[in-house]
Amino acid sequence: MIAELGHLLAFLALATAAAQSVLGLTTGGEATRRLAVATGMFTALAMLTLIISFVRLDFSVALVAANSHSQKPLIYRIAGAWGNHEGSMLLWCVIMSAYGAAAALWMRADRLRDRALGVQGLLTLGSLAYLLFASSPFLRLAVPPLEGRGMNPLLQDPAVALHPPFLYTGYVGLSFVFSIAAAGLINGSIDRDWAKRVRPWALTAWSALTVGIALGAIWAYYELGWGGWWFWDPVENASFMPWLVTAALVHSLIVTEKRGSMAAWTVFLAVLAFCLALLGTFLVRSGVMTSVHAFATDPTRGIVLLIGLAIAGGAALALYAWRAPKIPPGPEFDPVSREGALVLNNLFLSVGAALVLVGTVTPMFAQALNVSLSIGEPYFQLTFAPMMAVLLLFMPLAPMSAWRKTELKPILRRLAPAGILAVIAGGFAMIVGGWQPWLGFGVLVGVWVIAGVVLDLVRRAGPGGAGRLFKLPLAVWGMTIAHIGIGLFVIGATAETVTRSERTFPLQRGESATMQGWTFRFDGVRQVEGPNYNATRADITVTHDGRTDVIHPEKRIYPIAQSGTTEVSIRKTAWRDVYVALGDTIREEPGVWRIRIAFHPLIDWVFGGAGLIALGGFISLTAKLRRRAPATDAAAATTPEATTETPPAGAPA
Amino acid sequence: MRKRSQRLWLIGAAAVLVLGAGGLAAVALQDSVAFFAAPSELIEKDMIKAGKSARVGGLVEVGSETHGSNGELLFRITDGDHTVPVVFEGIPPDLFREGQGVVAEGKFDADGRLVAKRVLAKHDENYMPKEIYDAMRKKAGPDGAGAYEKEPTS
């Protein structure tokens, strides 16, 4: 019964979404609001019924039979509900309609909200139609099997269980940014108030997307068994392009909100971000690309997605082309100003996204011409990395600049200590890291960014000292933390990429391998039984600096899925991870196992940096919410804000 | 007047950046694109040159898997007619087996061996790299690929 209930709820959601879009785009009002909440509730309940089917192991539901198994632990039975194409599409609908419901509950009631809900209703309607007619998760099997087929064991992992919900809150969340942009274009009201109301949604989506991407990277790092965390794989790029564009958007929204400039560009980014999210979904789901992560590939689904992308993107861009010329350009500004700095940020981030796009889709077009090629890491390192390096060299200047027009000299003088520190740190890293110029450069950039933003914080606190720091607006803290996160990430990513070292040792029981002052003694393997897998577990005694402990890398075989995973053992030290994976036996020499040992320096800074970026985003978001809370009347909400930031040094009054 | 000059420098900055990025991309694409080929194609077109990037697809030749003095994996990729020797330092994917489809990505060394940075194998029962499938089908006709139950991708 429960699957039919879910099916019915999804159809109800389809109906309310249709009504929501019609009402929202015409009369609007309270009815639209209620419909949006209803759509959100119906899809959430539909998801709940699917989760119940998965938890209860109802194998008469085709999706459960194909993706679950009675031996699977409870949390992965729940996560199994979205660990497949159909279930993840339902999750997509849930999150899309949840954004609509949240906006219905929290956005100020006016035409902008109603139309945004209307557009969101249309997007939800399209997604639900796709779910119900092209990939329904609620279908029953005539003859239920006694046992399910299990899930890809690589996905049986906590990070990847949480990965889809965060990732979707991110890039499906961009649908609502798109909806407010479309609503603003329809209303002809792309102005400061519009920007102010878009920003919380953009920040939510962007921060969640950051977490989602980071979880995926963490999972790749320890679960795929080769210690990489980013492969420039099409599926990764698919989520990274919207991330870059949304990063540009949250910055240009500041300009539009505070100054009213760049409005036409800002709304374009808001439209583009979701289009790229759709394009990414198409790349992932249609099977046009070879990727280590691609799942549920089916050409018909790809075509439907492509049509959806064409309709949503085409309509929005047509609307943009029609309305954008009427958007007032806003007050002008000097190239050397905070606006100018943020324009630079936007140019570099969008060109960066374009370079990633070229690298991602070129193989696809080549394939259409019957040429099979792949574009790997070297392309991205040669193109994307230098763009970001230049961007980051400029980054500390932006928060210190004044709006409209600024003097560079006082800013550079103020940043001088950061520059000196960066050069010293970079030089030191280059020497310690064994004359690696790129390591030195990465550390220089990272330290420059961190020291620069800390100096900015000191400047904002003024002579008031530490006590004044806590009185600074949360938005400033959010920016500071996110920028520190970027700096840490850059240092970690370059250190990890440039100085990681790895080697494979063929070892017999009792033999030892030594690498960089660490000794690994292989004490043989034994068989261990897990809930739904059999593991070959190695005992390896690790000695370093007189300290000894035993680690247990594993190879697991999941008999139901007929596949295996490599479970690495990671020893954390202050500066690096010691990463040990158990390989295969060597065929012609029984008893010899291949053991791969790798050192990953500063890997925690990579993930920690990404975490801080997301945290900074969420803090800026709470700043928005807190600031908005007292402004109950519409008049207060539209008043240009009083100074939320202390005037920058050398700013003309 | 001011308005126009603002627009001009904006467009100028964007144009410089886009042109620079385009040039960079063009150079990078020439250097870092790896063409996918089956062993026969590589040999017939004389594409095996030291330092050249490639993506080689085919089957892991039965009986070819061995290891070097540092424990690195050595195997040969075959398409039935020709083979390409591969060296791989990492741990192969869990479904790496002799006789199975595989794609190896890397650069050729002076001895004509592909030093692979990445080895992709059939991921699970639902997924195998498209190129493996295509190579299989090219080789064995639709029946040969039929051994993999269903076409995984378009």
Q: Mean pLDDT per segment of 10 residues, for chain A of length 653 residues?
A: 93 97 94 97 97 93 89 88 90 97 95 96 96 92 85 80 93 96 95 95 97 94 83 89 98 95 94 94 73 54 84 93 90 90 95 95 83 82 93 95 93 96 96 89 97 94 79 92 98 94 89 94 93 91 92 89 84 92 79 90 96 96 69 39 39 36
Q: Name the helix (H) or strand (E) containing A367.
A: helix A338-368
Interchain contact B19–A (C-beta under 8 A):
no
Tell me the average pLDDT across B6-19.
87
CB contact under 8 A, B94 and A358: no
How much is the pLDDT for A410? 94
Handedness of CA A340, A343, A344, A345 (dihedral sign): positive
The one-letter amino acid at A174: L
CA A575 to chain centroid:
26
Coil, strand, or helix at residue B47?
coil
d(CA B149, CA A168): 32
The residue of A372, A405, A558, A594 whose CB has the most chain B CBs within 10 angstroms, and thus the best one to mutate to test that interface, is A372
B residues 57-76 near A, CB within 8 Å?
Answer: 65-67, 70-73
Residue with the bigger pLDDT between B126 and B104: it is: B104
Distances (CA, A) of A551 to A154, A456, A520, A573, A603: 21, 45, 10, 14, 20
Chain A residue numbers with beta carbons less than 8 Å from the beta carbon of B35 are: 371-373
Neighbours of A313 (CB within 10 A): 18
A residues 153-182 near B, CB within 8 Å?
Answer: 154
Coil, strand, or helix at residue A497?
helix
**The pLDDT of residue B81 is above 70:** yes
Nearest CA in chain A to B91: A583
Report phi then psi at A477, rounded to 5: -60, -40
Among residues A251, A258, A270, A248, the alpha carbon closest in space to that of A184 is found at: A270
d(CA A481, CA A469): 13
Interchain contact B29–A (C-beta under 8 A):
yes
User: Is there a contact between A480 and A533 (Cβ–Cβ < 8 Å)?
Assistant: no
Domain spans, chain B:
1-32, 34-146
Nearest CA in chain A to B89: A504
Per-residue tokens: A596: 């791969």
Among residues A490, A382, A396, the alpha carbon closest in space to that of A439 is found at: A490
Q: Topology of domain B34-146, per CATH?
A: OB fold (Dihydrolipoamide Acetyltransferase, E2P) (2.40.50)
Chain B residue numbers with beta carbons less than 8 Å from the beta carbon of A563 are: 94-95, 124-125
Instruction: Please name the member of A387, A588, A595 whose beta carbon is closest to the beta carbon of B21.
Output: A387
Which residue bears the tokens 């300009």?
A255
In the beta sheet, which residues pair with residue A30? none
Helices (H) and strands (E) in chain A, counts: 21, 11
The shortest C-alpha distance from A374 to chain B (Å) reads 5
Interchain contact A641–B (C-beta under 8 A):
no
Interchain contact B37–A (C-beta under 8 A):
yes
**The pLDDT of residue B27 is above 60:** yes
Neighbours of B109 (CB within 10 A): 14
d(CA A379, CA B25): 7
Interchain contact A588–B (C-beta under 8 A):
yes
Interchain contact A260–B (C-beta under 8 A):
no
d(CA B65, CA B60): 8
Q: Read off the pLDDT band of B130 (50, 70, 90).
A: low
Rounded CA Rg of chain B? 21
**Interface pTM, i.e. ipTM:** 0.74
Q: Name the helix (H) or strand (E) containing A75.
A: helix A74-80
Distances (CA, A) of A502 to A99, A474, A499, A550, B88: 45, 43, 10, 20, 12
Chain A residue numbers with beta carbons less than 8 Å from the beta carbon of B24 are: 355, 382-383, 386
Nearest CA in chain A to B38: A372
Per-residue tokens: A71: 């031996």
The shortest C-alpha distance from B130 to chain A (Å) reads 6
The shortest C-alpha distance from A52 to chain B (Å) reads 25
CB contact under 8 A, A561 and B124: yes
Q: Could you give the maximum distance between any two Cα atoms of chain B, in Å?
A: 77
B residues 83-112 near A, CB within 8 Å?
Answer: 89-92, 94-95, 103, 105
CB–CB contacts below 8 A, A to B = 160
pLDDT digits (tens, 9 = 90+) for B44-77: 888 888 888 888 888 888 888 887 777 788 999 9
Residue with the bigger pLDDT between A262 and B101: it is: A262
How much is the pLDDT for A628? 56
CB contact under 8 A, A375 and B34: yes
Q: Name the helix (H) or strand (E) containing A138.
A: none
CA A641 to chain centroid:
31
Interchain contact A335–B (C-beta under 8 A):
yes
How much is the pLDDT for A352? 96
Chain B residue numbers with beta carbons less than 8 Å from the beta carbon of A248 are: none
Chain A residue numbers with beta carbons less than 8 Å from the beta carbon of B131 are: 290, 372
Strands A576-586 and A589-601 come out as antiparallel
CB contact under 8 A, B127 and A295: yes
Instruction: Please name the member of A294, A382, A594 whose beta carbon is closest to the beta carbon of B127.
Output: A294
How much is the pLDDT for B153? 36
d(CA A646, CA A554): 56
The one-letter amino acid at A16: T
CA angle A10, A14, A18 (to 5 degrees): 165
Domain spans, chain A:
1-151, 167-375, 505-604
User: Is there a contact between A179 and A604 (Cβ–Cβ < 8 Å)?
Assistant: no
Chain B residue numbers with beta carbons less than 8 Å from the beta carbon of A565 are: 94
Interchain contact A375–B (C-beta under 8 A):
yes
